[in-house]
Amino acid sequence: MAKPISRHVPLIIGNWKTTPATREEAVKFVKGLDRKITTGKYKLPRRAYYLAAPDIFIPHLKAATKNGYIGSQNVSGTSLGQTTGQTIPSQLLSGGADFTLIGHSEVRATGETADARAHKVALSLQAKLMTVLCLGEHERDKGGKYLQELEDDVKHALSLVKRDLFEYLVIAYEPVWAIGAKTPATPQECFEVVIALRRALATLGGIDYAKKVHILYGGSVLPENAKSFLEEGGVDGLLIGRASQDVQDFYTIISSCH
């Protein structure tokens, strides 16, 4: 189980989505990445990355990597018992997952409601599974209403969670318009959202807590722009889709951010 460590250590998470095609490719990928991390010219922490993988690969990836944390891309909000085709947070944890994403916009697009997401977050945190809550606006209005909406969204998503479980939480800001797109948000666009999200977190858990939470940026992160989000965008890490599906690109991002 992984609790997010101090904000001084950047949290770099790859989101593999429905790649790669086979277990063999997945294992080869992490072995290749670990080799670069241990033999490359940069001094990196022993555990330098997180990968949200297809659930079925999680135990195999855990056995194959020494340098990464492996997690899931979604959880079910149902409880132990008679629901077909779902995996609940405590089962993921027991099966070896170090963390999970919840509320990714591609999951929301399949019909996950804000209430369902809040329920998943509560169950996942109750299981003490590190939970990366994803949120982001579909589009921006000139008057800045989206900032208030994001604050309301984070409060709603955490409305069922007990305060003492907040330490397992990470927030990923992913503007929907930047995911899978050609251009990311600018670090400045990211910065104002980070302030709004910390304000919302301070209302929920106090200022000291709000200062400790990792807030990540995701949406068209590439090797050439990754560092700018940490340096100028005020975030503590990244959630990376396409560029985490290539060993060299992901390694370049990991090493540039550490």
Hey, which residues are catalytic here?
A: 104, 174
- Establish if 219 lies at the interface with ligand PGA (CB under 6 A): yes
Q: Give the single-character DSSP code of 54.
A: -
Residues 119-178 touching ligand PGA, rule: CB under 6 A, are 174
Residue selected from 241, 252, 253, 255 as contacting ligand PGA according to rule CB under 6 A:
241
Question: What is the closest distance, in whole angstroms, from the C-beta atom of residue 1 to ligand PGA in the complex?
Answer: 22
Phi, psi values for residue 27, rounded to 5°: -65, -40
Residue selected from 121, 240, 254, 257 as contacting ligand PGA according to rule CB under 6 A:
240
Question: What is the closest distance, in whole angstroms, from the C-beta atom of residue 239 to ligand PGA in the complex?
Answer: 5
| Residue with smaller CB distance to ligand PGA, 15 or 131 | 15
CA angle 124, 13, 158 (to 5 degrees): 30
Q: Rounded to 10 degrees, what is the CA torsion of 122, 124, 126, 127?
A: 170
Question: What is the closest distance, in whole angstroms, from the C-beta atom of residue 178 to ligand PGA in the complex?
Answer: 6
Element (H, E) at 64: helix 58-64
Residue 52 and residue 101 in contact, taking contact as beta carbons nearer than 8 Å: yes
Binding piece for ligand PGA, criterion CB under 6 A, among 25-33, 34-42, 212-220, 227-235: 212-220
CB nearest ligand PGA: which residue? 241
Contacts of 226 (CB under 8 A, 6+ apart): 238, 240, 243, 252, 253, 256, 257
The residues that touch ligand PGA, with contacts defined as CB under 6 A, are 15, 174, 179-180, 218-221, 239-242
